[in-house]
């Protein structure tokens, strides 16, 4: 790790400034890499659409949640740059927008996978084994709840009660395909259907 | 002339999961092919037989013939034989999986026959997207009566006399709430329908919104007239897109017919409605958090008083009522307060709606008069499958408690359940059989409360996390007897010191299980493991990652606030 310019070599020969020694540079690097998915975004077009959405609400900051819903529908998630734009146009500070985005679980700071799996963990599904089902999905996909696989194929989310309690445990893919009474053994078959 | 027939194909999640869409298409094809003009094909909300696990279900009106669990080829037979030929198809009638008995008509099904459907009066019987269907069944008659013959005070008095209490959980007398809002002097007032239904495992409000949206709209207009509001909001959780769509349609149709807008039916009273969607936060069901969320802020509750009837939306007096509370209002006007109060117990009038789930034969919606014993509801649900015995019944979700088998003679009634350490809640009823572990149940609800705590006040933010830790310790066989003392102490503290209802009630599942199932806790501690082998599996799932706690991007729901909790374990 060559960090020239950040203070000369220290006595023990390390070249990193004292205040940077705590930093896990690999992790920081990862963070930047993980934003690959932002490279494809045509920011100008997105920002133009965001402005349109906000105009529909007459720039009313009381409509922030509606605006965020619509923007997320458009982009798939809420990247930082978009939050800044929304804040700017609604006359809010970025921290106000960010505080709302992070409060509500339906707002996402990362894109969803091509196939979005939601597993119910309401009471009825839980007593019928939803936790084991979630664990199996996590294992097979190699991600935890709330994450997206690195190839962008799958993302996994947990919800509370899909209203199909009699059929529990229930999973849903892309908000359309409902898998009822699904058992741990059926998970790989279920995923297979979306593999290609 | 041939009698017009109406075919209602249920389009609720369970029936859709079992092929309702394809079935509907098959009916369409065959009806068109035979050119049956006297048949209208409709979608409907849940017919609510509690037979959702055996769908898709279809009802043929006017006689209410009931077909269940049928496939597209069966649709062809029904169209040919029944709708065209006038010969109902016996072998496709609903057949009870247990007794093997067939029930030709809707009303013959045991599960349905033993209920008293008031809030659910229209669910599954009309196409919720057609205002005419609602009007045909007497809809908007109450509104016309109110606007043409009653003063606002009369409406309030009538609701008071009926004994109607809020169905959102707390059971506050609705008439009194309206009176408070009426008395608050302000030029602007609001009515808000709380359709956040965050209780994990309850879907009663959703069923009403999806199955009979006009009942709620009509109830809100009457509430607005009574308190002097000209504007109302429905706060619907965003996870219910179908409910949002149906209510939106209902609002537009009501506007077209002059039930919403200015100078309603020539009365001089103006009222309009708007939908606000949530964004996934359980605490937003709490009324002050809900108000913050409607205004697009973080859903943080605030201390009461002042109550929303004095200081609500934008600082103006606001009445907040649950979906079912509002859906009752038109019937109470139609049939009179005496009729409604005669249905329940002296203190709890009317009927109670539950989403019956868990280890029960028929999962689904049950509506019974208040005062009905819990055991009877289980019986209506067909009892416990596979010859097992009931161990506990949990009502009230994360704010409620589990009652053991020997307390199931308890009536559903606000006070009676509260005395026993449970609560009516807003509609979830979870039935547990002998294989359920009560420590696991307590841990489930506490984990939920922990992840949904808004993080604003210390007792709730820290206490819920501590309780999850202790419960996990016990569940995984690492607990000690002192843990039980500590658990109770933390539970009491959170109950008495928290800012809002979430914290004040979230200890109930723990306290109730400690009261009625202490032996199970002790067995975990003694044997160093879960005697039923349930906890091991579930506790091994990293608890912090269950539920929606973790956002993509690594932030828990409840966001920055929740981060302050030091994280749910
Ligand atoms: C954490 C929490 C969640 C709540 N969730 C709901 C809910 O989902 N639906 C609801 O109607 N009431 C909910 N309530 C109760 C509301 O605060 C309020 O009492 C109710 O909406 C009033 O309507 P009612 O008088 O018709 O019951 C919740 C309360 C708390 C403390
Ligand atoms: S608890 Fe899973 S669908 Fe209701």
For residue A8, give how far its alpha carbon lies from the nearest alpha carbon of chain B (Å).
35
How much of chain B exceeds pLDDT 70, in percent? 93
Say yes or no: A89 contacts chain B, CB-CB below 8 A.
no
B184 inside domain: yes
Q: Which of B433, B455, B489 is the last residue of a domain?
A: B433
The ligand that comes nearest to the alpha carbon of residue A180 is 2
Task: Report pLDDT for B543.
Answer: 40
The ligand that comes nearest to the alpha carbon of residue A172 is 2
CA of B170 to the centre of ligand 1 (A): 7
* Domain co-membership, B333 together with B383: no
CA of A169 to the centre of ligand 2 (A): 7
Q: Which of B86, B113, B140 is the last residue of a domain?
A: B113
- CATH number, domain at B465? 1.20.1440.230
B119 inside domain: no
* Domain co-membership, B175 together with B293: yes
Spell out which residues of chain A touch residue B540, defining contact as CB-CB under 8 Å: 135
- What secondary structure, in 3-state letters, does B445-499 show? HHHHHHHHCCCCCHHHHHHHHHHHHHHHHHHCCCCCHHHHHHHHHHHHHHHHHCC
* Domain co-membership, B336 together with B379: no
CA of residue B40 relative to chain centroid, distance: 30
Out of B52, B428, B547, whose CB is closest to A166? B52
B121 inside domain: no
In sequence order, what are the residues at sequence separation of 6 or more whose Cβ sits closer than 8 angstroms to the Cβ of residue B93?
A: B65, B66, B67, B68, B102, B103, B104
Task: Report pLDDT for B2.
Answer: 76
Q: What is the CATH number of domain A43-103?
A: 1.10.10
pLDDT in tens, A31-78: 444 456 777 788 899 999 999 999 999 999 999 999 999 999 999 999
Q: Which of B61, B87, B113 is the last residue of a domain?
A: B113
How much of chain A exceeds pLDDT 90, in percent? 61
B295 inside domain: yes
Rounded-to-integer distance, Cα A53 and Cα B370, Å: 48
Q: Is the CB of B286 under 6 A from ligand 1?
A: yes
* Domain co-membership, B170 together with B280: yes
Strand runs labelled E in B220-327? 231-236, 272-277, 318-322
Say yes or no: A101 contacts chain B, CB-CB below 8 A.
yes
Helix (H, G, I), strand (E, B) or coil at B436: coil
* Domain co-membership, B313 together with B372: no
The ligand that comes nearest to the alpha carbon of residue B278 is 1
Contact call for residues B92 and B104 (beta carbons, < 8 A): no
Domain definitions of chain A by residue range: 43-103, 115-192
Structure tokens of B7? 């075919």
Domain span at B382: 348-433
Residues 170-189 of A with CB under 8 A from B: 170, 178-180
CA of B208 to the centre of ligand 1 (A): 16
Spell out which residues of chain A touch residue B554, defining contact as CB-CB under 8 Å: 146
Q: Which fold has domain A115-192?
A: Glutaredoxin (3.40.30)
Residues 19-48 of A with CB under 8 A from B: none
Structure tokens of B307? 């109550």
Strand runs labelled E in A47-151? 115-120
For residue A147, give how far its alpha carbon lies from the nearest alpha carbon of chain B (Å).
5
- CATH number, domain at B287? 3.40.50.11540
For residue A102, give how far its alpha carbon lies from the nearest alpha carbon of chain B (Å).
4
* Domain co-membership, B226 together with B358: no
Task: Report pLDDT for A135.
Answer: 93
* Domain co-membership, B174 together with B309: yes
Task: Report pLDDT for B544.
Answer: 40
Task: Report pLDDT for A8.
Answer: 40
B449 inside domain: yes
Q: How many domains, in total, are found in chain B?
A: 4
* Domain co-membership, B383 together with B404: yes
Residue bearing the CA closest to ligand 1, atom 18: B287
Residue bearing the CA closest to ligand 1, atom 12: B168
Task: Report pLDDT for B48.
Answer: 62
Cross-chain Cβ contact A160/B200 below 8 Å: yes
- CATH number, domain at B41? 3.40.30.10
CA of B399 to the centre of ligand 1 (A): 11
* Domain co-membership, B399 together with B369: yes
* Domain co-membership, B510 together with B458: yes
* Domain co-membership, B333 together with B197: yes
Rounded-to-integer distance, Cα A132 and Cα B65, Å: 40
Positions of chain B with pLDDT under 50 = 541-566
B569 inside domain: no
* Domain co-membership, B387 together with B429: yes
Task: Report pLDDT for B443.
Answer: 96
Q: At what angle do helices B152-162 and B174-183 cross, to 10 degrees?
A: 150
CA of B196 to the centre of ligand 1 (A): 8
Flag whether pLDDT at A9 surpasses 60: no
Task: Report pLDDT for B96.
Answer: 77
B358 inside domain: yes
Structure tokens of A9? 């070599």
Task: Report pLDDT for B557.
Answer: 39
Say yes or no: A156 contacts chain B, CB-CB below 8 A.
no
Tell which phi-psi region holds residue B54, choosing left (phi > 0), alpha (psi between -120 and 50) or beta: alpha
């Amino acid at each position: 790790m060559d960090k020239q310019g950040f203070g000369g070599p220290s006595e023990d020969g390390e070249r990193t400034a004292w205040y940077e020694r705590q930093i896990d540079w690999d992790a920081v690097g990862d963070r930047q890499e993980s934003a690959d998915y932002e490279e494809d975004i045509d920011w100008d077009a997105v920002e133009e659409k965001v402005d349109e959405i906000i105009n529909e609400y007459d720039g009313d900051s009381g409509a922030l949640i509606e605006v965020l819903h619509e923007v997320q529908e458009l982009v798939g998630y809420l990247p930082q740059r978009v939050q800044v734009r929304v804040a700017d146009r609604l006359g809010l500070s970025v921290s106000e927008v960010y505080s709302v985005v992070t409060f509500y679980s339906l707002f996402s700071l990362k894109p969803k996978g091509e196939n979005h799996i939601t597993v119910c963990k309401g009471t009825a599904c839980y007593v019928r084994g939803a936790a084991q089902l979630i664990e199996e999905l996590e294992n097979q996909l190699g991600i935890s709840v709330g994450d997206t696989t690195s190839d962008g194929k799958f993302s996994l989310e947990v919800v509370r009660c899909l209203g199909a309690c009699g059929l529990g445990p229930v999973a849903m893919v892309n908000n359309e395909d409902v898998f009822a009474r699904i058992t741990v053994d059926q998970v790989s078959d279920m995923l297979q259907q979306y593999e290609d | 002339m041939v009698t017009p027939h109406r075919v209602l194909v249920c389009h609720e999640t369970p029936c859709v999961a079992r092929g309702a869409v394809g079935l509907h298409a098959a009916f369409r094809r065959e009806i068109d092919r035979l050119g049956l003009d006297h048949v209208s094909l409709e979608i409907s909300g849940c017919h609510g037989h509690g037979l959702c696990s055996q769908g898709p279900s279809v009802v043929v009106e006017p006689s209410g013939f009931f077909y269940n669990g049928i496939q597209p080829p069966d649709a062809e037979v029904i169209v040919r034989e029944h709708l065209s030929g006038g010969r109902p198809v016996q072998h496709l009638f609903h057949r009870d999986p247990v007794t093997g008995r067939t029930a030709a008509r809707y009303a013959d099904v045991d599960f349905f026959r033993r209920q008293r459907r008031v809030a659910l009066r229209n669910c599954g019987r009309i196409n919720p997207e057609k205002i005419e269907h609602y009007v045909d069944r007497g809809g908007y008659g109450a509104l016309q009566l109110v606007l043409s013959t009653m003063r606002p005070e009369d409406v309030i008095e009538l609701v008071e006399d009926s004994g109607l209490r809020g169905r959102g959980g707390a059971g506050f007398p609705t008439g009194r709430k309206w009176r408070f809002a009426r008395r608050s002097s302000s030029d602007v007032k609001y009515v808000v329908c709380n359709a956040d239904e965050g209780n994990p495992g309850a879907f009663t409000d959703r069923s009403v919104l999806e199955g009979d949206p006009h009942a709620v709209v009509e109830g809100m207009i009457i509430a607005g007239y009574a308190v002097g509001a000209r504007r109302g909001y429905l706060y619907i959780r965003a996870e219910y897109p179908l409910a949002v769509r149906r209510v939106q349609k209902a609002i537009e149709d009501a506007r077209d017919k002059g039930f919403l807008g200015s100078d309603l039916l020539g009365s001089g009273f103006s009222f309009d409605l708007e939908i606000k969607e949530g964004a996934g936060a359980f605490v937003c069901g709490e009324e002050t958090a809900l108000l913050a969320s409607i205004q697009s802020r973080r859903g943080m509750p605030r201390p009461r008083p002042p109550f929303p009837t004095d200081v609500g939306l934008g600082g103006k007096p606001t009445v907040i009522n649950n979906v079912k509370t509002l859906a009752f209002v038109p019937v109470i006007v139609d049939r009179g307060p005496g009729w409604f109060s005669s249905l329940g117990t002296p203190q709890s009038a009317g009927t109670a709606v539950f989403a019956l789930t868990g280890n029960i034969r028929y999962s689904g919606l049950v509506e019974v008069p208040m005062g009905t014993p819990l055991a009877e509801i289980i019986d209506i649900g067909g009892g416990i499958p596979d010859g097992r015995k009931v161990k506990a019944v949990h009502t009230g979700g994360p704010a409620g408690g589990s009652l053991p088998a020997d307390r199931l003679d308890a009536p559903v009634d606000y006070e009676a359940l509260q005395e026993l350490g449970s609560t009516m809640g807003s509609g979830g009823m979870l039935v547990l059989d002998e294989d359920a572990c009560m420590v696991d149940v307590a841990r489930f609800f506490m984990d939920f409360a922990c992840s949904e705590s808004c993080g604003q006040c210390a007792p709730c933010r820290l206490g819920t996390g501590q309780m999850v830790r202790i419960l996990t310790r016990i569940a995984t066989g690492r607990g000690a007897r002192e843990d039980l003392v500590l658990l109770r102490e933390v539970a009491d503290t959170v109950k008495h010191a928290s800012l809002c209802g979430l914290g004040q009630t979230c200890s109930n599942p723990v306290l109730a299980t400690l009261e009625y199932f202490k032996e199970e806790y002790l067995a975990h501690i003694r044997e160093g493991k879960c005697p039923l082998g349930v906890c091991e599996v579930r506790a091994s799932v990293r608890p912090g990652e269950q539920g929606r706690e973790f956002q993509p991007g690594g932030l828990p729901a409840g966001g920055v606030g929740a981060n302050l909790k030091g994280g749910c374990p």
